[in-house]
């Protein structure tokens, strides 16, 4: 019954309620100069230092009062939301995206209505001065997300639900994806602060809401948090490992184990050609993405019906040009 109620959500996943423009907020890589760093410092002290601190260490005067995750310590050079692989530095565009869009469900607001593109670029250059590695290293090529996403169906959502259970996603994110799993309250980030798992039912995620955003997080994880890259190798043995009797109805457990029984054993999987392994894992990731998106309230279709703006994308090909309506802002 639960999965039948998700049918409306699955219908919208292939409809592309994304932003039309594909232009990055930073069209060209900005050269670091004394003048743009100085301009960025002025912006930083005015808008950012109260939370992130004058030294960029996340210890501003209001930091202790923020709700949710603590302000980022820029001196570490670790940023959760990036288009690059875990363990590498973000691109300038990644930093600009977070500045302009903010981080939903945290105290980090969106500054798109305040900062134009030039101001955002200057601010990015100043933030990079807090961490030597951001100035000394070049970011790698961003992770490429497959452009041909299979159309979502009720069957793909069902498979995604089974992947979610077999891969133990529920341990942190909860049996219904609301961020309330049995391990959620004990999760810590790399510096010991509480790490809060995403609640997929909220309809607006911290890292972007398009299918490509979710796929990217599955591949890269979230830097500095317990969310590691998900290889999602699904094999028949996993049916014996899923143990959620205290949290799941028997129908869900039986469905997950039945799904596992349809998979090949691990030794057979790892004897496949690497390209075949990658195709299988890609399919399981898209199935999981379909399931996670089906949990969102409101879904993209409901947002359209209600006349709401589509939710922004961070990593996808439909990345919005943020600030088109705000470039006149001073």
Q: In three state form, how does the secondary structure of the chain look?
A: CHHHHCHHHHHHCCCCCCCCCCCCCCCCCCCCCHHHHHHHHHHHHHHCHHHHCCCCCCCCCCHHHCCCCCCCCHHHCCCCCCCCCCCCCCCHHHHHHHHHHCCCCCCCCCCCCCCCHHHHHHHHHHHHCCCHHHHHCCCCCCCCCCCCCCCCCHHHHHHHHHHHHHCCCHHHHCCCCCCCCCCHHHCECCCCCECCCCCHHHCCCCCCCCHHHHHHHHHHCCCCCCCCCCCCCCCCCHHHHCCCCCCCCHHHHHHHHHHHHCCCCHHHHHCCCHHHHHHHHHHHHHHHHHHHHHCCCCCHHHHHHCCCCCCCCCCCCCCCCCCCCCCCCC
Q: What is the pLDDT of residues 49-69, one digit of tens each?
A: 999 999 999 999 999 888 778
Residue 164 counted as domain residue: yes
Question: Which of the four pLDDT bands, split at 50, 70 and 90, describes residue 207?
Answer: confident
Residue 250 counted as domain residue: yes
Residue 263 counted as domain residue: yes
Residue 84 counted as domain residue: no
Residue 216 counted as domain residue: yes
pLDDT of 137 > 60? The answer is: yes
pLDDT of 286 > 90? The answer is: yes
Q: Which of 74-83, 185-194, 296-305 has the lowest mean pLDDT?
A: 296-305
Residue 207 counted as domain residue: yes
**Domain of 168?**
2-18+153-305
Average pLDDT over residues 141-161: 89
Average pLDDT over residues 186-215: 85
pLDDT of 308 > 60? The answer is: no
Based on the structure, what is the number of domains in the chain?
1
What length is written for the chain?
Answer: 330
Residue 234 counted as domain residue: yes
Instruction: Give me the half-sphere count of Cα atoms (radius 13 Å) on the Cβ side of residue 83.
Output: 23
Q: What is the pLDDT of residues 28-54, one digit of tens each?
A: 455 667 888 999 999 999 999 999 999
Average pLDDT over residues 196-209: 82
Closest CA to 13 of 231, 320, 321, 304: 304
Residue 134 counted as domain residue: no
| 316 vs 189, higher pLDDT | 189
What pLDDT score was predicted for residue 272? 95
Q: What is the pLDDT of residues 221-257, one digit of tens each?
A: 888 889 988 888 999 999 887 776 677 788 888 899 9
């Amino acid at each position: 019954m639960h999965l039948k109620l998700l049918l409306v959500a699955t219908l919208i996943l292939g409809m592309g309620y994304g932003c039309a423009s594909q232009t990055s907020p930073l069209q060209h890589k900005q050269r670091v100069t004394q003048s743009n760093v100085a301009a960025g410092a002025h912006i930083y002290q005015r808008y950012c230092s109260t939370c992130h601190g004058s030294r960029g260490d996340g210890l501003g005067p209001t930091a202790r009062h923020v709700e949710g995750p603590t302000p980022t310590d820029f001196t570490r050079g670790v940023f959760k939301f990036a288009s690059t692989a875990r363990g590498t530095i973000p691109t300038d565009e990644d930093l600009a995206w977070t500045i302009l869009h903010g981080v939903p469900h945290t105290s980090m607001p969106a500054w798109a209505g305040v900062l134009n593109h030039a101001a955002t670029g200057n601010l990015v250059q100043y933030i990079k001065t807090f961490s030597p590695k951001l100035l000394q290293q070049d970011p790698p090529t961003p992770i490429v997300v497959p452009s041909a996403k299979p159309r979502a169906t009720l069957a793909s959502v069902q498979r995604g639900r089974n992947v979610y259970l077999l891969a133990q996603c529920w341990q942190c994110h909860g049996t219904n994806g609301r961020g309330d799993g049995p391990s959620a309250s004990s999760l810590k980030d790399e510096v010991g602060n509480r790490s809060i798992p995403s609640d997929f039912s909220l309809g607006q995620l911290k890292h972007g809401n398009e299918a490509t955003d979710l796929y990217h997080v599955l591949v890269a994880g979230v830097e500095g948090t317990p969310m590691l890259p998900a290889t999602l190798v699904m094999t028949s043995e996993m049916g014996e490992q899923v143990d959620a009797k205290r949290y799941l109805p028997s129908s869900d457990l039986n469905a997950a184990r039945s799904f596992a029984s349809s998979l090949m054993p691990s030794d057979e999987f790892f004897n496949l050609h690497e390209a075949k392994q990658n195709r299988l894992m890609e399919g399981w990731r898209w199935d999981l993405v379909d399931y996670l998106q089906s949990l969102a309230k409101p879904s993209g279709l409901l947002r359209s019906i209600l006349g709401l703006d589509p939710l922004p994308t961070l990593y996808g090909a439909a990345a919005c040009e943020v600030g088109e309506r705000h470039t006149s802002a001073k």
